[in-house]
Structure 1
Amino acid sequence: MVPDWFVRAGDRPEFWTGERCFITELMNHPAEPAVSLAVARVEPGVTTQLHRLDGVTERYVVRKGRGIVEVDGIQQRLETGDQALIPAGAAQRIENDGDTDLEFYCVCTPRFFPESYIDLETPGDASA
């Protein structure tokens, strides 16, 4: 019998998102509603979709590459080891202006859920 506190690794493939980046979910399980953890990968020259997460605070922790994060219209360069704390509801995106992939951990509190994602680029998709 498997204990309740154990979550099997399973198959966690990287997948493409409409946000214009690749995601690998490392931890996002109903057993731990307080937090989720993923790795995002943005290819050189790509800027992710402008969006917000309603009710979810997100922290980026850069593990490889460099880029420019934008939060509520304010831009900041990020390099390996840097972090950005993005408040719930803040408009956000990140640009990879380097020549290698930009990879960063996405730590969400509470855990990420698809309904929290609000597209701010596509007309008619953003909610007030």
Structure 2
Amino acid sequence: MLIKSLKKCEYFQVSDETVLCELLHPVNENIEMGCSVAHAIIEPGQASLPHKLKSSVEIYFIIEGEGIMHIDTESRDVKPGDAIYIPPGSSQWIENTTKNNLKFLCVVTPPWREEDEELCD
């Protein structure tokens, strides 16, 4: 049985300026799974940089806070309980519009790989 706790997870800033921890990743955990799961935090008034995953589907699941999700030319308000589907190759970014941290899970399938992600102009 594998159980990982956010309390013991190491957070770091990624290229899109989101602070996250890799909660479950098949390479890191040496497990078989078709996706990776990360926990992300965006501080009040901050936003991730526009970026895309070239060949992976990404799903954000909002846990705390509220914000605006931008995918290509669309923008929508998001809140706790919302699941956001991000198609492969889509320019995307999320901004925190509250005075509290915006916290969400990032599920990526196939599992996230650094070479698959690129910042948008």
TM-score by length of 2: 0.88
Change (3 A) 1:94 1:34: same
Richer in helix (by share):
2
What's the CA shift for 1:28?
0.8
Percentage identity across paired residues of the two chains = 29
Runs of at least 4 residues off by over 2 Å: 6-12, 30-33
Residue 16 (1) aligns with residue 13 (2): yes
- Residues 27-56 of structure 1: CA distance to partner in whole angstroms, max 9, x if unpaired? 112333510000110001111110000111
Task: Return 5+ residue gaps in structure 2 as ranges.
Answer: none
Contact 1:60 1:107 in 2 (8 A): yes
- Residues 88-121 of structure 1: CA distance to partner in whole angstroms, max 9, x if unpaired? 1111000001110000000011100101101103
Question: Partner amino acid for 2:62?
Answer: V
**Which residue matches 1:93?**
93
Corresponding pairs, count: 116
Q: Distance in 2 between matches of 1:39 and 1:97?
A: 19
Question: Partner amino acid for 2:55?
Answer: G
Question: Partner amino acid for 1:22?
Answer: V
TM-score by length of 1: 0.83
**Which residue matches 1:25?**
22
Alignment RMSD (CA, Å) = 1.7
